[in-house]
Amino acid sequence: MSDPQLSAADPQSLWGRLRQGLASRLSEASFQEWIAPCAPLRMEGSTLWVRVPSPSTKLWIEQQLVEEFNDTLSQEGLQELRLAFLVDGSAPALAPVRASALVESESPAQSSPLPVLFQRYTLDRFVVGPNSQLAFAAARAVVDSHGRSSGTLAMNPFFIYGGTGLGKTHLMIGIGHALREQDPGLRLTYLKVDQFFHEVTAAIARRNTEPLRRKYQQNDVLLLDDVQTLGKLERTQEEIFYVLEYLLQHGKQIIITSDKPPQKLEGVHDRLITRFKWGLTADIQPPDFETRFAILKRKLEDPDFRDFPDVPDDVLTFIAHKGKGSVRDLEGLVTRVVYQASFMGVPVSLDLAHAAFQGSSGEEPGAAIPPERIYRLTAETFGISLMDLMKKKSRKPDALLPRQVAMYLARELAQASLAEIGKAFSMHHSTVMNSVDKVKDRMQKDSDFHKTVHALLNSIQ
C-alpha cells in the first residue's frame, strides 16, 4: 500500500532533497558525472520515477551509489520512498521496485525490514578469502545457531570491524537476509548510528525517548552499523546502551560493524565497549590479489552486466592489482571500465582500463608508489604518528617495528634504494638492509605478523 503523503508529493521537491543530500556525500566530480544529469519524471503511488541519460549511468547508480542513496533517504525521513530509474528514451518497466532499492527484485511485493537497495548483499554473494575467513565463518555460525537455546551466547553481539569498503555491511546484511529466510516472521531491524542520532534528537525535542527505546527493544535481531561514529554523541550512546542491554538480557541477536575494534573506539563509554566485547569480534582485512580477482569475476556474473562488453582476464588482472584493497574501489573501477567501453562502443581492452584508472585516480597506471605514502599508511596502521615513525632518535618500543616495516615496504613497493630509504630515516644504508632482513625473517616465523604486513601491502598497492 502506498503512502498517501508520498503519493501527493511534488517529484521536483523530492528529487531536490535527494540531490542536496547526495551532494554532501559525493565528491563534486562524482555528483556532476552521475547525479546532475538525472531528472525527476513523476510520482506513481510511493514511487519516484527518475530519468537517467544512459544504461551505464543507471548501472553506476545501482552498483556504486546504493549506500549514499540509502543514507540520504534515511536522513530525509524517506525510507518508504520507492525509486525507479528510467533510461532516457526507453519504455517504463511494468513493476517498479521499492525505490530505496534502486535494484530489481524478483518478488517486489515481499515485505522486508532490510533496505531493498541492499538486496545484493547476501552471504552467497560474499567472496571469501584469507582476509575474511573468520568473519564469514562466524556469520554462518550466527545464522545456523539462531534460535537454539545455547547456540548464540558466545557470538552475541557479533562485532565485525575493518576498513572502509571491505564488506562489513555486506556481511551484516547477508546475515539478516539469511535469518529472514529461515524465519520470515523474525522481527529484524537495520539501524545506522547516524539515523539513530536523528531519531534521538527528535525524541528529545518531544521530551519522550521511551517510544524510541521500545521501537528497537522489540526486535529479535538488531543490525547496528558504523558504531565508530558514536564518539561524542553522549545521549545517543545512552539510548543505544539501553537498547543493547535489553536485547542482550532477553537473548536477542545483535550484529555490529565498525571501522575499529571495540577497544580502539574513541569517545565511546566503557560500559558500551564492554557490551561490544561480550561476544565474538572478527575483522575483515583488505583482500589479497587472488581474492580481488575472484571478487571481480563474481561481480561480472551479475545480471546487470549481461548486456555490457565482456572483460578479458588481462584487464581483470590489471584492475585486481590497482584495486588497493578496497572491495568498493575494486568494483567501482571495473564498473567504470565497462561503462567507458559501452559509452565509446569499443571492446574492453588494457589500454581502456589504463585510461579509466588514470581518469578515476589521477595516477599513471605504471607509476611507482611514492615512499611518502607508504610511510604515512604504515604509521596509521600501527597507530603512531608519522613524526615518531621517521625520527631516528625515537627509541620507543612501539616505533621500532613499524619503522622496520615501512623500510621493507619501501623496498618492495616503491623499489626505493637502500640509500634513499636511509636518507628518509636519517640512517645508514646498512641499518636499512638489516631492518628489511629482520622483517622478512619475522614474516616467515610469525603468521600473525605476516598477515599484518600482507594486509598493509595490499592496502597500499
Cα-flanking dihedrals φ and ψ of residue 115, to 5°?
-55, 125
Cell digits of residue 337: 571500465
pLDDT at residue 395 in the model: 58
Question: What pTM, to 2 d.p., does this model score?
Answer: 0.70
- What would the DSSP string read from start to end of 148-184? STTTSGGGSSEEEEESTTSSHHHHHHHHHHHHHHH-T
Domains of the chain listed by start with CATH number: 4-118 (3.30.300.180), 123-284 (3.40.50.300), 289-361 (1.10.8.60), 371-460 (1.10.1750.10)
- Residues 59 and 252: their CA atoms lie apart, in Å, by 37
Q: Are 58 and 85 in contact (CB under 8 A)?
A: yes
Distance CA 104, CA 234 (A): 39
Q: Cell digits for 404?
A: 622496520
Residue 102 phi/psi, 5° resolution?
70, 0
Which DSSP letter does residue 107 get? S
CA distances from 421 to 418, 439, 455 (A): 5, 15, 22
Amino acid 103: pLDDT: 41
pLDDT along the chain (461 residues), means of 10: 61 89 87 89 84 84 82 79 77 42 39 72 86 90 78 76 87 93 90 86 86 89 90 87 91 91 89 90 84 86 79 84 75 84 82 77 60 84 81 68 87 80 87 89 81 71 58
Q: Which of 157, 359, 364 is nearest to 254 (CA)?
A: 157
Would you state the pLDDT for residue 367?
Answer: 55
User: What is the predicted pLDDT for the residue at 172?
Assistant: 94
83 touches 69 (CB < 8 A):
yes
Residue 116 in contact with residue 80, Cβ under 8 Å? no
Task: At 273, list the grid cell.
Answer: 565497549
Residue type, position 429, single letter:
H
The label of the residue with cell 533496505 reads: 115
The crossing angle, in degrees rounded to 10, of helices 447-460 and 429-445 is 120
pLDDT for the residue numbered 369: 74
**Crossing angle of helices 11-25/66-75, nearest 10°?**
120
pLDDT for 342 equals 79
d(CA 193, CA 127): 26
Q: Which residues pair with 162 in a beta bridge?
A: 284
Q: Are 273 and 265 in contact (CB under 8 A)?
A: yes
